[in-house]
Amino acid sequence: VITQTDDIPENLHPRPPIITIMGHVDHGKTSLLDAIRKTSVVSGEAGGITQHIGAYQVKTESGAILSFLDTPGHAAFTSMRSRGANVTDIVVLVVAADDSVMPQTIEAINHAKAAKVPMIVAINKCDKPSAEPNKVRTELLQHEVVVEAMSGDVQDVEVSAITGEGLDTLLEAIALQAEILELHANPDRAAMGAVIEAQLDVGRGPVATVLVQNGTLRQGDIFVVGEQWGKVRALINDKSERIKEAGPSVPVEVLGLNGTPEAGDVLNVVETEGQAREIAEYRKAAAKDKRAAAGAA
């Protein structure tokens, strides 16, 4: 594996935050992800063709860039974590104002706390006459989530995924939280990132959506990802555009894999194809041994 120059402070640059939306079923996670994507597509081509690649970037009114994981739900979050890919910087906890705190709300709070990821509460469905945002705030207290409106330090924003009310405020709240976190990466080193989705595409072969976490991934780079390896043949962004390189916190589809990796696998750029093949084969063999041992036990 390439020896990296240490990421000394002068090499570090601010990077966009990576956000996961969590909450109880039907509280509006998917609707919120769709609404956010529509309000502010990066580079401003409103109504531009976007495709689902598992993550997307938006630009807030004040110019901050935010990367959203486009797969709501807790399974993705925990499986990524268990595979060692701690990609999420901020959790947006969605709570429907007409339903308040429910079992999966509590589960999401526990996941965020266990991962030590800061939370922002989006009180959704505030357009509904039956909405009771203050009930949400009070019930959250019982789970040690003290929102700003209750003199705590967790930001809370009233929103409606349907009318769009509060969405800009929510995005600015996320940008503010990100500033506090002082997220940095070194765009000048060899890339590493996490697979957030992967499939075998009929026309294109194995395709993985990778969230670059450090460094810059470029066309032609040789990499290992889990038990697979490859050489970047093409990079495609969340607007279906072919791009030459992807820097920190950029989600990108990677073509040129020799096999299909799994969500949560870590991608590392290496120097030669020989190295890449060797590492991938070693990992395959190790995984096989492990399965055999588990089967024998």
Q: Which residues of this chain interact with ligand GDP, rule CB under 6 A?
A: 23, 25-31, 72, 124-125, 127-128, 160-162
User: Considering the complex, what minimum distance in angstroms separates the CB of residue 31 from ligand GDP?
Assistant: 3
Is 143 known to sit in a ligand binding site? no
CA distance 26 to 20: 16
- Of 160 and 249, CB closest to ligand GDP: 160
Q: Which residues are CB-neighbours of 186 under 8 A, at least 6 positions away?
A: 7, 11, 12, 13, 214, 215, 248
CA distance 25 to 243: 36
- Of 107 and 262, CB closest to ligand GDP: 107
Tokens 């190295």 correspond to 275
- Of 124 and 214, CB closest to ligand GDP: 124
Is 73 known to sit in a ligand binding site? yes
User: Considering the complex, what minimum distance in angstroms separates the CB of residue 63 from ligand GDP?
Assistant: 26
- Of 52 and 244, CB closest to ligand GDP: 52
- Of 58 and 65, CB closest to ligand GDP: 58
The pair of three-digit structure tokens given for residue 5, joined into one six-digit string: 């120059």
Is 13 known to sit in a ligand binding site? no
Helices 167-181, 29-39: axis angle to 10 degrees equals 90
Is 288 known to sit in a ligand binding site? no
Q: State how far the alpha carbon of 35 is from the alpha carbons of 19, 32, 53, 106, in Å.
A: 15, 5, 17, 24
Is 98 known to sit in a ligand binding site? no
Is 30 known to sit in a ligand binding site? yes
User: Considering the complex, what minimum distance in angstroms separates the CB of residue 20 from ligand GDP?
Assistant: 13
Is 26 known to sit in a ligand binding site? yes
CA distance 285 to 282: 5
- Of 50 and 258, CB closest to ligand GDP: 50
Give the number of other CB atoms < 10 A from CB of residue 272: 10
CA distance 4 to 186: 11
Q: What is the chain's percent helix, strand, coil content, to nearest 5?
A: 30, 30, 40
User: Considering the complex, what minimum distance in angstroms separates the CB of residue 252 from ligand GDP?
Assistant: 25
CA distance 114 to 101: 19
User: Considering the complex, what minimum distance in angstroms separates the CB of residue 176 from ligand GDP?
Assistant: 22
User: Considering the complex, what minimum distance in angstroms separates the CB of residue 115 from ligand GDP?
Assistant: 20
User: Considering the complex, what minimum distance in angstroms separates the CB of residue 105 from ligand GDP?
Assistant: 11
Is 124 known to sit in a ligand binding site? yes
Is 113 known to sit in a ligand binding site? no
- Of 11 and 169, CB closest to ligand GDP: 169
Q: Which residues are CB-neighbours of 42 under 8 A, at least 6 positions away?
A: 57, 58, 59, 65, 239
Helices 103-114, 74-82: axis angle to 10 degrees equals 30
Binding-site residues: 23-30, 70-74, 124-127
Binding-site residues for GTP: 23-30, 70-74, 124-127
